[in-house]
Amino acid sequence: MPLRGRFTPPGDKSVSHRLLLLALIAKGEMMIAGLSDCDDVATTLRCFRALGGKAVPEQGGLRVTGLDRAFPAMPEEGEIVLDCGNSGTTMRLIAGILAGAPGRYVLTGDAQLSRRPMERVAEPLRLMGARITTVAGKPPVTIEGGRLTSVDYHLKDASAQVKGTVMLAGLSACDSGPTSVVETVATRAHTERLVDYFKGRVSVEGLRISVWPGSLELKESYLTPADPSSAAFFLTGAAMIPDSKVTASGILLSPGRTGFLRVLDRMGAKVSITLTSDTPEPTGEATVEYAGPLQGTEIAPEEVPSLIDEVPVLALAATQAGGRTVFRKVDELRIKETDRLMSIRHQLGALGARIRVEGDDLVVEGPTSFIIPAELDSGHDHRLAMTLALALKAARAKIPVLGSESIAISYPGFGAQLEELCRG
Ligand code: S3P
């Protein structure tokens, strides 16, 4: 079934989280238009309010008032418990803010989040002087906020969340020096771009990002760019389903987020990009058109952060491509909402795909005509659930996908948008 049409996905999830969290330490008032309506961002908004932040829905968006680090007094229980739901980004980034805030905070999460590693943020925060504990490396995370000192930290994992957490803590350091994060591979640059946009002092020299302590000033208004990771399902669908042509408008086009478009282009789809704005991030529209059967490709380790959330849907495209596609060094997927490497392998495997995990690589041999099983199981992994829904549309099959309600974690309107693009 071809996908045809133009659409605007919801506001970018990574940017939405950061807008709210930066407002906790910034001054002023800002109208945010187009904030993501997904469950994960609703979680960050709840935490923002629980910490005293003011956010009022108005016509045209959400008006937030910067808290300027005026964190609430501790309640009688002596601590504030923040439920981070399913959202790893909320838990990790908020730890960077609370490490420098007075008081005791306990960060909890749902069953999936409670299995995810948190030492990757706790360790650099401890080096800055934070008192922070995890339970065998996992949530709950307990933070006794206090004075932080700047640090020069070399990231062990290619993670924008860890980079962002250390930078947010660096903004509250009590000395005047910069906190620097040195990346192994460039990851999405939203934190540094937004800190700069809100008048913080930041410098980027290659893979070294430095931030100086100080306050931030919100702008009068901010239009949240649309989410390329949500757009990716339909754009990838257009690349692999004959007669398709889809345009996603208003999406973020930062290089750290558009690796999937470069891969689709390499695989033989017709991809065109039009930039409409460059501040504070490149934004515009992307069109992908079917241009014949796709060809397999190799995705290098340096490319992985720029398409980390798109591996499930790109793996689906690879099942329809001629020859071999190899995703090199995608072991970070093991610690997503599920062990995504294994869930991709099992669920696309259940459709008859020839797909295997070799060490830290994911290898797909295509093309495959799908065999339709009685049901599929997303394991409550939203990105896998959307990938499987697309696979079934492409195969014109209708079977249950267990755990599909998880789609609301990042894209509540996904099902309706899929139907609309199928109707053309
Ligand atoms: C995100 C970074 C990535 C990504 C996640 C959002 C962010 O995680 O998978 O969906 O907003 O910084 P990692 O930093 O763990 O790679």
Chain segment 174-193, per-residue pLDDT in tens:
988 999 999 999 999 999 99
Q: How far is the CA of 330 from the centre of ligand 1 (A)?
A: 13
Residues 121, 92 contacting (CB under 8 angstroms): yes
Our mutation pick for probing the ligand 1 site, out of 17, 40, 89, 163, counting the most ligand atoms within 8 A of Cβ, is: 89
Residue-level pLDDT at 151? 97
Residue nearest to atom 10 of ligand 1 (CA): 309
Tokens representing 69?
């680090």
Chain segment 44-63, per-residue pLDDT in tens:
999 999 999 999 999 999 99
Q: How far is the CA of 140 from the centre of ligand 1 (A)?
A: 19
Of 205, 234, 72, 96, the residue nearest 161 (C-alpha): 96
Of 308, 313, 309, 231, the residue nearest 273 (C-alpha): 231
Give the largest CA-CA distance in the chain. Answer: 65
Residue-level pLDDT at 252? 98
Neighbours of 367 (CB within 10 A): 18
Q: How far apart are CA 421 and CA 264, in angstroms?
A: 19
Residue nearest to atom 11 of ligand 1 (CA): 14
Q: Rounded to 5 degrees, what are φ and ψ at 225?
A: -65, 155
Active-site amino acid positions: 309
Our mutation pick for probing the ligand 1 site, out of 161, 187, 329, 333, counting the most ligand atoms within 8 A of Cβ, is: 161
Our mutation pick for probing the ligand 1 site, out of 87, 119, 159, counting the most ligand atoms within 8 A of Cβ, is: 159
The three-state (H, E, C) secondary structure of the chain, written as one string:
CCCEEEECCCECHHHHHHHHHHHHHEECEEEEECCCCCHHHHHHHHHHHHCCCEEEEECCEEEEECCCCCCCCCCCCCCEEEECCCCHHHHHHHHHHHCCCCEEEEEECCCCHHHCCCHHHHHHHHHCCCEEEEECCEEEEEEEECCCCCCEEECCCCCHHHHHHHHHHHHCCCCCCCEEEECCCCCCCHHHHHHHHCCCCEEEECCEEEECCCCEECCCEEECCECHHHHHHHHHHHHHCCCCEEEEEEEECCCCCCHHHHHHHHHCCEEEEEEEECCCCCEEEEEEECCCCCECCEECHHHHHHHHHHHHHHHHHHHCCEEEEEECCCHHHHHCCCCHHHHHHHHHHHCCCEEEEECCEEEEEECCCCCCCCCEECCCCHHHHHHHHHHHHHCCCCCCEECHHHHHHCCCCHHHHHHHHHHC
Q: How far apart are CA 61 and CA 250, in angstroms?
A: 16
At the fourth CATH level, which superfamily is domain 4-8+225-423? Enolpyruvate transferase domain (3.65.10.10)
Our mutation pick for probing the ligand 1 site, out of 14, 382, 386, counting the most ligand atoms within 8 A of Cβ, is: 14
Q: How far is the CA of 161 from the centre of ligand 1 (A)?
A: 5
Sign of torsion, CA 174 176 177 183? positive
Residue type for position 399: I
Residues lower than pLDDT 70 in the chain? none
Of 137, 106, 110, the residue nearest 123 (C-alpha): 137
Tokens representing 198?
């809100």
Q: Say if 4-8+225-423 and 13-211 have the same CATH topology.
A: yes
Q: How far is the CA of 97 from the centre of ligand 1 (A)?
A: 17
Q: Rounded to 5 degrees, what are φ and ψ at 326?
A: -120, 125
Residue-level pLDDT at 35? 98
Domain boundaries, the chain: 4-8+225-423, 13-211
| Residue listed under structure tokens 């002087």 | 129
Q: Are strands 283-289 and 270-277 parallel, antiparallel or unpaired?
A: antiparallel
pTM, 2 dp: 0.98
Q: What is the DSSP letter of 42?
A: H
Q: How far is the CA of 73 from the centre of ligand 1 (A)?
A: 31
For residue 139, is the peptide bond before it cis, meaning its omega torsion is within 30 degrees of 0? Answer: no
Residue type for position 5: G
Q: Which residues line ligand 1 (CB under 6 A)?
A: 14, 89, 159-161, 164, 188, 308-309, 332
Q: What is the DSSP letter of 254?
A: -
- Ligand 1: atom nearest CA of 160 is 14
Q: How far apart are CA 26 and CA 198, in angstroms?
A: 8
At the fourth CATH level, which superfamily is domain 13-211? Enolpyruvate transferase domain (3.65.10.10)
Residue nearest to atom 15 of ligand 1 (CA): 159
Q: How far is the CA of 199 from the centre of ligand 1 (A)?
A: 24
Residue-level pLDDT at 260? 99
Q: How far is the CA of 419 from the centre of ligand 1 (A)?
A: 28
- Ligand 1: atom nearest CA of 162 is 14
Residue-level pLDDT at 176? 84
**SS3 (DSSP) at 10:** coil
Helix (H), strand (E) at residue 120 = helix 119-127
- Ligand 1: atom nearest CA of 158 is 16
